[in-house]
Amino acid sequence: MQFSLQAVEKHGKYMEAVKVTRRAKGEKTREKILKAAIEVIASVGIKGTTHRAVAKKADAQLSLTTYYFKDIKELIREAIILSSTIFIESSSGIWHKVFAYLDEFDATSMRKVTTREEICHKVTDAATQHMYENIIHRPVGLAVEQIFFTEMMYQPELQDLAIAHVEKLRQPFIKLASYFNKVDPEIDAELALMTITRIQYQCLSQDKNDVDIEQIRKLVYRQLAWVLKLKR
């Protein structure tokens, strides 16, 4: 009897391990499909995204794609959520460093032109490098993000995701502007966000070797100089 109980217990642990392995494999497959969907959306837009196109991009059977996502709208929605999460997280580190840097200055120092010029150069360098990395290494994320401002805004079932994503982009710009503008930082933030996003989207159409990082730096500096109330 003791042997039988031990055997049952051992079998139970084995079956549990099998379930965990299958679950992990299933999650990996699901993520693979979602990432393939992100690439398809970036390439052909939302209307051109189908189960078949995603399966081809994922190098997976069509039946597997429809097994995990029976409704194409569900697949598109979850892919967009994942893309948004990945892209926002890629910026969180740089924003954290920028705000930690700004917090080193007291109010008196912030009023000095020399201090604001130093800050403008420092933040410009960080922003330019991050934007360049987005353009060169994260073009798919940028392409999908562009859809947040266009195609998704006119689709009721996706509009909430677009609004939420844009708001997540806007908030750190508002925080940055509020260091130098206590009256209407939202205005400065909106203008800065529009400039940054336009520069990145414009560069998407260029060959990677033609992307001029110095030109990006000049444009970013001019916009940030406005936010920091620096005269030309």
Residue 55 to residues 77, 97, 183, Cα–Cα distance (Å): 16, 39, 51
**What distance, in Å, lies between the first and last C-alpha atoms of the chain?**
89
pLDDT for 168-219, tens place per residue?
999 999 999 999 999 999 999 999 999 999 999 999 989 999 999 999 999 9
Domain ranges of the chain: 2-70, 81-227
DSSP string for 199-227: HHHHHHTS-GGG--HHHHHHHHHHHHHHH
Integer Cα distance of 111 and 173 in angstroms: 20
The helix, strand and coil proportions of the chain, stated in percent and rounded to the nearest 5, come to 85, 0, 15
Give residue 20's identity as a one-letter amino acid code: V
Residue 231: pLDDT band by 50, 70, 90 thresholds? confident
Q: Please answer whether residues 88 and 169 qualify as being in contact, where contact means their C-beta atoms are separated by less than 8 angstroms.
A: yes
| Arithmetic mean of pLDDT, 49-58 | 97
Region 49-57 average pLDDT: 97
Q: Which CATH class is domain 2-70?
A: mainly alpha
Read off the pLDDT band of 18 (50, 70, 90).
very low
Cα gap 167→179, rounded to integer Å? 19
pLDDT value at position 216?
97
Query: Which pair of structure tokens corresponds to residue 148?
Result: 């947040």
Which class in CATH covers the domain with range 81-227?
Answer: mainly alpha
CA dihedral of residues 223, 224, 230, 232 (deg, nearest 10): -40
pLDDT at position 105, please?
A: 96
DSSP code of residue 111 = T
For the segment 145-181, what is each residue's pLDDT rounded down to a tens digit?
888 888 887 888 888 998 999 999 999 999 999 999 9
pTM over 0.75: yes
